[in-house]
Amino acid sequence: MDSQRPYPVHRKGDTGPTVAEIRRKLAILELLPDSPDGVEDPNEAVFDDPCDRAVRHFQQQRGLNVDGLVGRETYDALEEARWRLGDRILSHQVSRMQRGDDVAALQRRMLDLGFNCGQVDGIFGPESARALRELQQSLGVHADGTAGPETFRALERLTRTVVGGHAHHLREAEAIMRSGPRLGGKVVVIDPGHGGLDHGHIGHGLTESAVVEDLAARIEGRLTATGVQAYLTRAVSARHAARVDLDDEARAMFANETRADLVVSLHVDGHPNPAANGVATYFFGTDRFGQSSAVGKRFAELLLSEIVARTDLTDCGVHGKTWDLLRRTRMPTVRVDLGYLTNPGDAARLSDASFRDYIAEAVVVAVQRLYLPADEDAETGVLNLGELLSGH
């Protein structure tokens, strides 16, 4: 879990109007039964066991952390989930972009029909507006980039001729192939997941922000040595401590502005149970959006296998998630959670400088392997930095 901007978190046992609102949203999604008479006093609403189960079910469906806590991300997701295509007019609003399942449905439809709106992320941004105008032109309706009743009717009339909708991710894969195996000139953004006042998890004398900042610097050095242009989303020096209020969205926007080829986000985990341990990687994807990033998934698999091959961290797998950083970046983005600070074994590993070097090397090798054609790809755990630098 991450500390995001402050937001009241609601959980089992809570009562009050916000709980009533959460229950109402869950009822619309048919995850909770409607209240019998529908006129309950919102102050009396209780976050009870069925509500807790419904929240967890919803979080599981949506690729969120399954913790039963309703913070900003889960609350926003509940709000987004209730929109069906045609419920409201959709357009690109610069100040506050529209988000919802109706936007995702429209994006999926546009991709199916061959209009490139980027990834299906349920956010109506400039790419969606551009694709919509093209679609409207070909439908013969007013091409204003606003999806209203006329556009919805035209879409309904259209027979669904193209199935699949993997156009964006085919483009993503093509871009990887086209750009060739050489690392020189590629741009990689390294994201220390925490910094400054946002210190993340703490355990065994370590803080998450310090660990990921140090790792980021090691990775940056190695990537730069291979000719990659590496950028950090946060200045790691304490002198820049003022620039620490950067949430996931701000850091995603930074990555988009640099037009990076890849983003690697660094975290370490923590858990009330000290036995929890191991490394996991995450890419953008969930069944609810009908699509996931194939390149992101491949990169997440490579990164995990290179780390597991070089260390004795437990393999906790590769997972599709819809966290803001994965969702808002326009390029393949992978987040790695490198061990648990709350586990004595993982904490001891993470305190060791040579262990951090192994991790940094694993990241660089995973980046290189992503760009190697399948028939030239090396076996996991055998490439090293020296070979990369000598031009392999």
Minimum CB separation of residue 295 from Zn ion in Å reads 23
When asked if residue 251 is in the footprint of Zn ion (CB under 5 A), the reply is: no
Q: Which of the ranges 44-52, 172-180, 196-204, 352-360 carries the binding residues for Zn ion, by CB under 5 A?
A: 196-204
Minimum CB separation of residue 120 from Zn ion in Å reads 26
Measured CA to CA, the distance from residue 87 to residue 97 in angstroms comes to 16
Minimum CB separation of residue 198 from Zn ion in Å reads 9
Instruction: Compute φ and ψ for 327, nearest 5 degrees.
Output: -80, -40
Number of residues that bind Zn ion (CB under 5 A): 4
Minimum CB separation of residue 3 from Zn ion in Å reads 8
Rg value, the chain, Cα = 22
Q: Which is nearer to Zn ion, 2 or 248 (CB)?
A: 2
When asked if residue 332 is in the footprint of Zn ion (CB under 5 A), the reply is: no
Q: Which is nearer to Zn ion, 100 or 339 (CB)?
A: 339
Instruction: State which residue has the least CB distance to Zn ion.
Output: 267
Q: Which is nearer to Zn ion, 99 or 267 (CB)?
A: 267
Binding mask 176-195 for Zn ion (x = CB under 5 A): -----------------x--
- Nearest residue to 332 via CA among 112, 133, 175, 217: 175
What's the CA angle centered on 324, arms 320 and 328, to 5 degrees? 95
Contact 193, 1 (CB under 8 A): no
Token pair belonging to 62: 């949506």
Q: Which is nearer to Zn ion, 52 or 214 (CB)?
A: 214
Contact 316, 236 (CB under 8 A): no
Q: Which is nearer to Zn ion, 102 or 208 (CB)?
A: 208
Out of 71, 122, 192, 200, point to the residue binding Zn ion (CB under 5 A).
200
Using CB under 5 A, which residues numbered 26 to 55 contact Zn ion?
none
Q: Which is nearer to Zn ion, 26 or 326 (CB)?
A: 326
> Which run of H or of E encompasses 207?
strand 206-207
Q: Which of the ranges 11-19, 92-100, 263-271, 378-386 carries the binding residues for Zn ion, by CB under 5 A?
A: 263-271
Return the residue matching tokens 């192994």: 358
CA 316 to chain centroid, in Å, comes to 17
Measured CA to CA, the distance from residue 351 to residue 360 in angstroms comes to 14
Minimum CB separation of residue 355 from Zn ion in Å reads 18
- Nearest residue to 316 via CA among 339, 350, 287: 339
Instruction: Compute φ and ψ for 281, nearest 5 degrees.
Output: -125, 155
Contact 45, 15 (CB under 8 A): yes
Q: Which is nearer to Zn ion, 74 or 291 (CB)?
A: 74
Minimum CB separation of residue 158 from Zn ion in Å reads 44
When asked if residue 267 is in the footprint of Zn ion (CB under 5 A), the reply is: yes
Return the residue matching tokens 């986000």: 265
Minimum CB separation of residue 117 from Zn ion in Å reads 31
Q: Which is nearer to Zn ion, 193 or 278 (CB)?
A: 193
Minimum CB separation of residue 89 from Zn ion in Å reads 38
Q: Where are the alpha helices (H) located in the chain, listed in sequence order?
A: 17-28, 49-62, 72-81, 101-112, 126-139, 149-157, 167-178, 208-225, 248-257, 294-310, 324-328, 344-351, 353-371, 385-389
Q: Which is nearer to Zn ion, 14 or 247 (CB)?
A: 247
Minimum CB separation of residue 201 from Zn ion in Å reads 6
Using CB under 5 A, which residues numbered 295 to 324 contact Zn ion?
none
Measured CA to CA, the distance from residue 348 to residue 204 in angstroms comes to 8
> Site residues (CB under 5 A) for Zn ion?
2, 193, 200, 267
